[in-house]
Chains A and B, each alone.
Chain A
Amino acid sequence: MTPPLLDVRGVTLQYKTREHLVTATYRVDFTVRQGDRYILLGPSGCGKSTLLKAVGGYLRPTEGQILLRGQPVVRPGADRMMVFQEFDQLLPWKTVKQNVMFPLEASGRLKGKEVQERALHYIHKVNLGNFVDSYPHMLSGGMKQRVAIARGMAMEPDIILMDEPFAALDDLTRRKMQDELMQLWEETRFTVLFVTHSIPEAVRIGNRILLLSPHPGQVRAELNGLDQGSMQKEAQVALEEEIKRLLFSDQIEETGHV
């Protein structure tokens, strides 16, 4: 078996608020392999976003290690492109094309004409060919998220880190974006680490799901070998029920949105 792309070993994350030292996750282990759609799923307060930011290099684990291709992650870098939940993640002073081109140039990954070609290729891939020269404030929320995804993919990073990218969208748009993401994955087979608190979203997108329990986040279960394409509707519903049971067995059932 090939060594994992991303190796998270016994990671404990803590951060300080004004008054407290909060433990966000406690000794979390997981590995992500090339081409995985790996989901971090859990209720709010399970530290999934904090964990993703640690993989992004924005904060250091107080215990444990995060290895990308065997190298410890110490700072943010363009080999791990982030897609955030917030719509303001695009640079408002750049057009769609410039937004996608900027990291390519800034990181020196590509030079000259190639930059533009690569950017346009991925903008067309997320179906925004008609909005190449638009500024972000002219786009809808879903379109902004597509630009962010195109920007991440254009860098062809080792792994794309998505922090609830569809959570701020309306239901119809979210469903469409999920389908489009799957379509993109079919075409390019990128590796993605995807944070969500929506069980249906996790089931629809992931091929592997890590369930985290809250306060602090600890691994509750890892569900492997899921494939949405081959799964029957009944099997999906059953899986969702199983996840609900695992996450909320000792709580009043919460309703996550679809």
Chain B
Amino acid sequence: MSENAMSPEPVRDGRSNVYKTPSPIGNFGIVEKPLPLMARLWDQGWLRKLFVLIVLACLWEAYARYLNNDLLLPTFIDTCLALFDGLYSGQLPERIATSLDVLLTGYAAGIGLAALLTLIAITTRLGTDFLEVMTAMFNPLPAIALLPLALIWFGLGKMTLVFVLIHSVLWAVTLNTYSGFQSVSSTLKMVGRNYGLSHISFIMKILIPAAFPSILSGLKIGWAFAWRTLIAAELVFGVSASSGGLGWFIYESKNQLNISAVFAGLLTIIIIGLVVENLIFRAVEQRTIQRWGMQA
């Protein structure tokens, strides 16, 4: 059989073997050619998204002008003006700073606790059970539902908000991190044990990087939860009457019937969300799981 295939003599059916040599590269018309500028621009995801944003802004502006009612829907331009006004007067930056301060405190504390809880869960079996029971109980409970209780426990202050934020971050991050650890392939774990790593460096150098896609998505979900919870909680009360956060800014503006400032506050929340999502998390993603080919 195999000898037949090798021989240059005619085989059955009257067909002989065919041999060819690839022609040299210079004979082709195009091997590689840059695409036209427009095609390359259209390939940029952020440019296409910017285009969508501009279209939406135009629609908003057109409809608001048609409606012509500042109390229901201020125009896009009015909103932008109110935004610049707020930024310029220093009121909005102050509110943003207050909000972010509370947010980062709660977020960091939540992540710290999540790390601790996951660590206990992967080292002891009872810890695993504890984590599973706790996440099953608290994950479905919206953090904002704890606000009345937190108000009784901690009073009207930063601590109350931080408590609610921790609750909103903790379970989402824990659940994702833990499931990430569980889905680390057994081969990879065996490789790590093969090197004779200590328990801590096994976790730090094998488990955490291997589970990083899940950890990162947990951090993203946690951030989104925390941000929403914070604004919702702030709508109920400011940290203290004089220096509330963004949520309080929206609530106050509404009471003063300054609807374009309400929209400016909403726009600010959206912009901060977009910046964190698209600049910070995106950059982390590109430097880690995308470069490692770990993103599906």
Cβ A135 vs Cβ B292 within 8 A: yes
Contact of A91 with B187 in the complex, beta carbons under 8 Å: no
A76 within 8 A of B: yes
Contact status A89-B205, CB under 8 Å: no
Contact B194 A92 (CB under 8 A): no
Kindly identify which residue among B191, B201, B206, B292 contacts A137, using a CB–CB cutoff of 8 Å: B292
A107:B196 contact, CB within 8 angstroms: yes
Please tell me the size bucket of the interface on A. 20 to 34
What is the CB-to-nearest-CB distance from B213 to chain A, in angstroms, rounded to a whole number?
10
Interface residues of B in 169-192 (CB under 8 A from A): 185, 187-188, 190-191
Q: Is the interface of B mostly helix, strand, loop or mixed?
A: helix
A93 B212 Cβ-Cβ under 8 A: yes
Q: What is the bound-complex CA distance between A103 and B212, given in angstroms?
A: 21
Q: Which residues of B contact A138 (CB under 8 A)?
A: 293
How many chain B residues sit at the interface, stated as a range, is 20 to 34
Once A58-B193, A81-B194, A103-B195 are accepted as A-B contacts, the answer to whether A88 and B187 lie under 8 Å apart by CB is yes
A78 at the binding interface (Cβ < 8 Å): yes
| A256 sits at the interface (CB 8 A) | no
Which residues of chain A are within 8 angstroms of B209 by Cβ–Cβ distance? 91, 93
Rounded to whole angstroms, the CA-CA distance of A81 and B194 in the bound complex is 7
| Residue ID in chain A nearest B202 by CB atoms | A106
A92 close to B294 (CB less than 8 A): yes
- Which chain A residues border B288 with CB–CB below 8 Å? 93
The residue that A106 contacts in the complex, of B201, B292, B294, with Cβ under 8 A, is B201
Cα A138 to Cα B293 in complex, Å, equals 8
- Interface pair B194/A76, CB less than 8 Å apart: yes
Complex alpha-carbon distance, A106 and B196, angstroms: 8
Q: List 13 A-B contacts (CB under 8 A).
A: A75-B193, A77-B196, A81-B194, A88-B185, A89-B187, A91-B210, A92-B292, A102-B195, A106-B195, A106-B201, A107-B195, A137-B292, A138-B293
